[in-house]
């Protein structure tokens, strides 16, 4: 018999003739408190009397301990010996962590709509995934009750089944694009958003090349901006070409997968696809611990710097999904003969470990977990999730009109350029007087041959635009190139972007981009351009993409593209500098405009247009 952690504490160490309990708890200032007690070995099996153990430094607090037959052997560097009187009982009896949210999946049919919503779509999800996530479709997400065999015992239990099928699915009827797989992605957003605690999911995983199940969390309100600025918590990830290797990770602006710097841990479970395991995190202001079946295999400590390294001080929601293929899951291809595949979830349980924060964004009588409209803007959380707006902010795009007002007027609540009564103008904050949003900077590293070799910084929009953009006055904006002598070349982009689905784009829509610009370079060989890029779900440019060279002389430019049918995911418009990272180059611009289906004719003389030149890949 060993002692098992049943609370935010750890119990360990079995010595001959006595039980040694090592107790540790970290208060809000992060100072560990350690003390020990020895309990005499039971004279008779099963005979135990409750005893009280003093808890120095936590006067008036109720601490929880229990003893069981299984447990973690996590240790500490220091043990302070003390003993209890002979004959003392073998169980310390106190309160367990408080269960604050759960789903036991005990009702047949679709998942509980009061606890789960769906992420819907097939645009690759930023990872070049192959599946289309459906909504409220039993083939992809359902609860089944009944009996199952676990460790040789028949257990009565219901399970959530997330199942991926190999089938052609019409992803975008407007553009006539298809996906070859379907699956589901459930989110607790709006009804299950937590700041600190223990999040625990008991699950059995799929098997086979091309499967990529995940149990993970994203920030509800993106307090620090788009991914990865506001963070990501991966409780469990598993890719089918590497069976049994289970991963847990954290992603932030400073440390994330695009640069291979994310804090991560992994462990091997030989039976991930045949047995259920408990995947959990214990999350406090100072630490994030990753556990499987109660045993910690990885942890990360708050460095005490800033949000760029530790953005985990805001509410996050839970995501359960099964992806197909993708940059990671599809590294070794997709086995076409294994489908359907499923992830089964026995339960989800969330506990308060003593420092959880009840989230109530709008300050009314209802906390977010039970409030159907967390920001009190007139749109329900479910409606906002469907529109893609921020559940915790009344005006997502910051244009002075609430999300409700924009939806009612038919303008786009995700674009500050689309306001009630004027939905044609797309590009906004062209003079940067309102700060950086919604401008994005993205940098592709290129090898000596000019081929892509990675991303600098991280995903588009991760680092500060102000690092590369300045305004000398007179309305001019200067965009400078990326400097890193260890990288031969780079493609450095400054742009705004629009999702085809959220903007309601359709084949035949005309997008125009115009402005006045010039460029400088300290050496020959730089490419400087204005562009409209039309990208598919793997972020490859489609034939609709167009570009125009920006030369050393100040000149007006104008680009136009008409959207065609196909797997269009996103449209971008902006400027780029491509060339050496050990030399300098700039683009100076003013008067930028991007319009949709503009009714006026082109107003720039043909003679003033720069030579378009070749489009860069």
CA distance 134 to 141: 9
What average pLDDT does this structure show over 385-401?
A: 84
Residue 40, CA distances (Å) to 17, 36, 48, 85, 168 in order: 7, 13, 11, 8, 66
Percent of the chain with pLDDT over 90: 48
**φ and ψ at residue 477, rounded to 5 degrees:** -120, 135
Q: Please say whether the beta carbons of 605 and 555 come within 8 A.
A: no
Whether the predicted pLDDT of 217 surpasses 60 = yes
Q: Reduce the DSSP state of residue 356 to 3 states and report it.
A: coil
Q: In what order do the strands lie in the sheet with 555-562?
A: 469-473, 476-480, 585-596, 510-521, 555-562
CA distance 571 to 533: 6
Question: Which residues have CB under 8 Å from 466's CB, separation 6+?
Answer: 436
Q: Reduce the DSSP state of residue 381 to 3 states and report it.
A: helix
Query: What per-residue string of b and e applies to 381-398 under the rule 16 or more CB within 10 Å gives b?
Result: bbbbbebebbbbbbbbbe
CA distance 456 to 236: 26
Poorest-pLDDT segment among 47-56, 72-81, 479-488, 569-578: 72-81
Q: What is the pLDDT of residue 25?
A: 31
Higher pLDDT, 296 or 501: 296
Q: Please say whether the beta carbons of 359 and 369 come within 8 A.
A: yes
Mind giving me the DSSP string for 72-86? -----S------PPT
- Report angle CA 286, 292, 298 to the nearest 5 degrees: 40
Q: Please say whether the beta carbons of 265 and 281 come within 8 A.
A: no
Phi-psi region of 526 (alpha: psi -120 to 50; beta: other; left: phi over 0): beta
- Give 481-529 pLDDT, tens digit per residue: 888 877 889 999 999 988 877 677 888 999 999 999 999 999 999 999 9
Q: What is the DSSP letter of 129?
A: B
What stretch(es) of the chain map to CATH 2.60.120.200?
A: 100-352
Band of pLDDT at residue 400, cut at 50, 70 and 90: confident
Q: Which pair of structure tokens corresponds to residue 476?
A: 């001019």
Residues identified as active-site = 232, 237
Residue 538, CA distances (Å) to 125, 129, 292 in order: 9, 8, 33
- Tokens 């406090």 sit at which residue? 284
Element at 329 (helix H, strand E):
helix 326-329
- Give 234-269 pLDDT, tens digit per residue: 999 999 999 999 999 999 989 998 888 899 999 999
Higher pLDDT, 294 or 540: 294
For domain 100-352, the CATH architecture is: Sandwich (2.60)
Q: Which pair of structure tokens corresponds to residue 37?
A: 């007690």
% helix / strand / coil in the chain, to the nearest 5?
5, 40, 55
What average pLDDT does this structure show over 464-476?
A: 83
Whether the predicted pLDDT of 617 surpasses 50 = no
- Give 319-338 pLDDT, tens digit per residue: 999 999 999 999 999 999 99
- Report angle CA 295, 18, 27 to the nearest 5 degrees: 50
CA distance 273 to 240: 10
CA distance 254 to 272: 32
Q: Please say whether the beta carbons of 269 and 292 come within 8 A.
A: yes
What average pLDDT does this structure show over 356-385?
A: 86
| Pairing of the two strands 264-268 and 277-283 | unpaired
CA distance 106 to 113: 14
CA distance 163 to 206: 9
Higher pLDDT, 582 or 21: 582
Which residue, 255, 281, 209, is CA-closest to 8? 281
What stretch(es) of the chain map to CATH 2.60.120.260?
A: 440-608
For domain 440-608, the CATH architecture is: Sandwich (2.60)
CA distance 213 to 487: 35
């Amino acid at each position: 018999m060993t002692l098992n952690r049943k609370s935010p504490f750890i119990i360990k160490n079995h010595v001959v003739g006595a039980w040694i309990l090592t107790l540790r708890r970290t208060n809000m200032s992060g100072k560990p408190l350690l003390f020990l007690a020895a309990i005499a070995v039971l004279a008779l099996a099963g005979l135990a009397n409750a005893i009280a153990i003093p808890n120095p430094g936590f006067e008036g607090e109720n601490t929880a301990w229990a003893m069981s037959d299984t447990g973690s052997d996590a240790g500490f560097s220091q043990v302070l010996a003390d003993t209890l009187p002979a004959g003392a009982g073998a169980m310390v009896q106190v309160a367990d962590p408080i269960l604050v949210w759960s789903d036991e999946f005990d009702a047949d049919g679709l998942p509980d709509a009061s606890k789960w919503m769906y992420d819907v779509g097939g645009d690759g999800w930023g990872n070049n995934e192959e599946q289309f996530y459906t909504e409220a479709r039993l083939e992809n997400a359902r609860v089944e009750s009944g009996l199952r065999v676990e460790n040789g015992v028949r257990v009565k239990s219901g399970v959530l089944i997330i199942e991926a099928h190999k089938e052609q699915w019409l992803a975008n009827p407007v553009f006539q694009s298809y996906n070859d797989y379907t699956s589901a992605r459930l989110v607790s957003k709006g009804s299950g958003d937590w700041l600190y605690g223990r999040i625990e999911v008991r699950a059995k995983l799929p098997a086979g090349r091309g499967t990529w199940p995940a149990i993970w969390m994203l920030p509800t309100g993106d307090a620090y901006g788009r991914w990865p600025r506001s963070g990501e918590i991966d409780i469990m990830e598993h890719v089918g070409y590497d069976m049994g290797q289970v991963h847990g990770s954290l992603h932030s602006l400073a440390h994330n997968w695009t640069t291979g710097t994310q804090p991560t841990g992994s462990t091997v479970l030989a039976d991930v696809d045949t047995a259920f395991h408990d995947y959990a995190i214990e999350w406090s202001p100072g630490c994030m611990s990753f556990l499987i079946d109660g045993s910690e295999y990885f942890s990360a400590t708050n460095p005490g710097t800033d949000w760029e390294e530790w953005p985990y001080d805001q509410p996050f929601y839970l995501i359960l999904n099964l992806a197909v293929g993708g940059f990671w899951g599809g590294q070794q291809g997709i086995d076409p003969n294994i489908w359907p595949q499923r992830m089964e979830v026995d339960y989800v349980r969330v506990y308060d470990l003593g420092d959880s924060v009840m989230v109530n964004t709008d300050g009314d009588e209802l906390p977010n977990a039970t409030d159907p409209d967390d920001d009190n803007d007139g749109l329900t959380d479910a409606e906002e999730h469907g529109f893609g707006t921020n559940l915790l902010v009344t005006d997502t795009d910051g244009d002075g009109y609430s999300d409700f007002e924009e939806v009612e007027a038919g303008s786009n609540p995700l674009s500050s350029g689309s306001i009630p009564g004027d939905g044609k103008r797309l590009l906004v904050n062209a003079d940067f007087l309102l700060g950086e949003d919604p401008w994005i900077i993205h940098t592709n590293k290129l090898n000596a041959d000019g081929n892509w070799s990675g991303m600098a910084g991280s995903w588009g929009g991760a680092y500060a635009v102000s690092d590369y953009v300045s305004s000398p006055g007179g309305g001019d904006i200067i965009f400078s190139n990326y400097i890193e002598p260890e990288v031969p070349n780079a493609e450095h982009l400054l742009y705004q972007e629009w999702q085809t689905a959220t903007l309601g784009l359709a084949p035949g829509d005309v997008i125009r981009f115009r402005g006045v610009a010039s460029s400088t370079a300290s050496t020959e060989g730089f490419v400087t351009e204005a562009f409209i890029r039309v990208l598919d779900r793997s972020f490859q440019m489609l034939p609709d993409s167009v570009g125009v060279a920006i030369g050393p002389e100040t000149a007006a430019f104008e680009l136009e593209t008409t959207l065609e049918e196909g797997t269009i995911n996103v449209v971008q418009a902006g400027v780029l500098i491509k060339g050496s990272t050990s030399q300098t180059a700039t683009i100076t611009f003013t008067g930028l405009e991007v319009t949709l289906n503009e009714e006026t004719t082109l107003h720039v003389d043909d003679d003033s247009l720069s030579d378009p030149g070749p489009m860069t890949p």
